[in-house]
Amino acid sequence: MPSFTRPERLKSRKAISSLFRGGHSFVAYPLRVVWKESSPYLAAMSRVQVLISVPKRNFKTAVARNRLKRQIREAYRLQKQEFYDKIEASDLNISLMVSYIAKEALPYAEIEAGVRKLIRKFPGDKVKLG
């Protein structure tokens, strides 16, 4: 049963700032991903830790931002098993940030497609080789 509990969320301020300094990134419209191999301390909690963000610049009210975050979170929650299998196959522990970069609020179907694209595009074992 797909879930999304506290250990799977990226909350450490330190980990987030290090993600900004030296993370790999790619775009899966309408989403942008920044990711990095996580520290052993975080890895002990969960193999993958995710942070979802929606910029205030594009969505002024908190209500609009909250809804988009919830939709992204739901899409990730329902599809994350596929992502976990892929990560496990390449034997990685990662933390990643998902930002919503579209200027307008898109329907849920498009967000869901974006998350699917995100999982497909993730480099995975190529990184391990390199």
Partner RNA sequence: ACCGCAGACCGCUCUGCCGCCUUUCGGGGAGGAAAGUCCGGACAACACAGAGCACCGCACCGUCUAACUGGCGGAGUUCUUUCGCUUUGGCGGAAGGGCAUAGAAAGUGUCGCAGAAAAUAACUUCCCGUUGGAAUUGAGGCAAGGUGGGUUCACCCGCCUUCGUUGAGGUUACAGCAGGUAAAGGUGAAAACGUGUGGUAAGAGCGCACGAUCCCGGCUGGUAACAGUUGGGAGGGAUAAACCUUGCGGGUUGAAAUGCCAUGUACACCUUGUUUGGCUGCCGUAGUUCUGAUUUUUCAGAUCUAUGGUGGGUGAAUACUCGGCUCGCGUAGUCUCGGCUUCGGUUGGGAGCAAGGGGGGUAGGCAGCGCAGAUUCCAACAACUGUUGGAACCAGAUAAAUGGCAGAGGUUCCAGCUCGUCCCAGACGAUAUGGAAUACAGAAUCCGGCUUAUAGGUCUGCGGUUUUU
State the residues that interact with RNA by CB under 7 A. 1-6, 9-14, 16-17, 51-53, 61-63, 66-67, 69-71, 74, 77-78, 108
Query: What is the enclosing helix (H) or strand (E) of 52?
Result: strand 48-53
Cis? peptide before 30, omega within 30° of 0: yes
The residues pairing with 51 across neighbouring beta strands, listed in sequence order, are 97
Beta carbon nearer to RNA, 8 or 127: 8
Alpha helices (runs of H) in the chain, residue ranges in sequence order? 13-21, 40-45, 62-89, 108-121, 125-129
How many Å apart are CA 8 and CA 30, to the nearest integer? 22
Work out how close the CB of 73 gets to RNA at its nearest, in angstroms, rounded to a whole number.
7
Work out how close the CB of 1 gets to RNA at its nearest, in angstroms, rounded to a whole number.
3
Beta carbon nearer to RNA, 12 or 38: 12
Measured from the Cβ of residue 19, the count of other Cβ atoms closer than 10 Å reads 21
Beta carbon nearer to RNA, 14 or 128: 14
Work out how close the CB of 94 gets to RNA at its nearest, in angstroms, rounded to a whole number.
15
Beta carbon nearer to RNA, 84 or 108: 108
Work out how close the CB of 128 gets to RNA at its nearest, in angstroms, rounded to a whole number.
27
